[in-house]
Amino acid sequence: MFTKTALRASSALAFCVFATAATAQDTTITIATVNNGDMIRMQGYTDQFTEQTGIGVEWVTLEENVLRQRVTTDITTNGGQFDIMTIGMYETPIWGANGWLVPLDDLSEEYDVDDILPAMRGGLSHDGTLYAAPFYGESSMVMYRTDLMEEAGLEMPEAPTWQFIRDAAEAMHDTENEVYGICLRGKPGWGEGGAFITVTANSFGARWFDEDWNAQFDQPEWEEALTFFVDLMNSYGPPGYATNGFNENLSLFQQGRCGMWIDATVAASFVTNPDDSTVADSVGFALAPNSEGVEKRSNWLWAWALAIPAGTQQEDAAKQFIEWATSKEYIELVAENEGWANVPPGARTSLYETPAYQEVPFAEMTLESINAADPTNPTVDPVPYVGIQFVAIPEFAGIATEVSQEFAEVYAGQQSVDQALENAQALTNDAMEAAGYR
């Protein structure tokens, strides 16, 4: 049965691209992507796409912060370095509205756009038009060592509070054996440590702006959230957490050095893969935490997606690649070779209706976390913006990168919480005034 499914997948992929293969022999597309595991895995299958279509693929694989800088510079200057860019829910609607991306409104019927999860389709569209196709989608959740939790005499709730997380981190912290109670992002960058501290602040009742676009870093909720985070990590986090992002914490967790890790749901396949993770058979999952008495949880909503910059000379070839890489058939191809636990998650409804995938231990929690995220209502108090771990305005990336650097100095012991929040308040209000929001 499994082999027949794989054959159908391969046949469908070949059928979709056969008509243009003969005319594409001399075509090469250049793709900028992030150095995350699923993207690296996709590169390993690219030869199959080339064999079926004749379209060559050149990859530019970059660390997350560098990728954001490179593609932003290229798109805003019409640099033309890339035929496909890996971007997310922050950039896509803004760049689509500016006319910087090719609309994906003519994908084939076989591709089945309606199968894309509504949360992903909505976040990658502008005025109802899709501008990027999700390779995978994610929220965030707690990943924890079940063996250490049991040794500590604790049981992880399905929906923990930050206060429980702190108690559990203390109980599991064992510096003699280089096991740290908790690993969290501190690395500067709006999509790295900046994203994590933003969702943490949301769960303490904080917000970036009030309804008149005044910065809110001078409010007690931000002080409580940042102070809690710093105390938690200084007490029970790994040394040098100020420079740890997704990949650094993934490595620590796989080495068995983290009692808990709160991060992207997409990491679940890597921490449970026995080929890469020393703790693969002792990992549990829970919803991202909230603070006691606050309804908002600290989970985000994101997709790494493939988009075509306007002005590319390889639009048709780029669309063929996007259809191939984000299709149902590609998911089956990965499942055939690497198992259902390793397919790109969070993008398609049909994946979560597949019986074999329903048996994957983190599938249900991933979907529950994605469905619980509400980017139109991200905070306790009203806000004038959309976005959970980001504010969907063009100025945000620059502002939040600076703010995250201020916070990273706190994590590194170079300034106080109060000083960082004062600096964040001033630089954010100055930038918003210069941009005409205030």
Inter-residue contact 344 to 38 (CB < 8 Å): yes
Residue 18 has a pLDDT of 39
Select from 189, 304, 201 the least CA-distant residue to 248.
189
Read off the pLDDT band of 325 (50, 70, 90).
very high
How many angstroms separate the CA atoms of 334 and 437, rounded?
A: 46
pLDDT (tens digit, 9 = 90+) per residue, 233-247? 999 999 999 999 999
Burial (CB count <10 Å: 0-12, 13-18, 19+), residue 21: middle
Partners of residue 84 on adjacent β-strands: 31
Tokens standing for 354? 């597949």
Greater model confidence, 11 or 147: 147
Backbone phi, psi, residue 140, to 5°: -135, 155
Tell me the percentage of the chain whose pLDDT exceeds 90: 94
How many angstroms separate the CA atoms of 211 and 57, rounded?
A: 46
Residue 330 has a pLDDT of 97
Once rounded to an integer, what is the mean pLDDT over residues 423-434? 98
Tokens standing for 284? 């549990």
Once rounded to an integer, what is the mean pLDDT over residues 175-199? 97
Once rounded to an integer, what is the mean pLDDT over residues 260-273? 97
What's the full length of the chain, in residues?
438
> What are the Cα distances from residue 14, in Å, to 58, 73, 141, 174, 433?
21, 35, 37, 53, 54
Name the pTM for this structure: 0.91
Select from 207, 146, 200, 148 the least CA-distant residue to 178.
148
| pLDDT at 81 > cutoff 50 | yes
| pLDDT at 186 > cutoff 50 | yes
How many angstroms separate the CA atoms of 420 and 226, rounded?
A: 10
Residue 381 has a pLDDT of 98
| pLDDT at 14 > cutoff 80 | no
Read off the pLDDT band of 150 (50, 70, 90).
very high
Residue 3 has a pLDDT of 37
pLDDT (tens digit, 9 = 90+) per residue, 410-420? 999 999 999 99
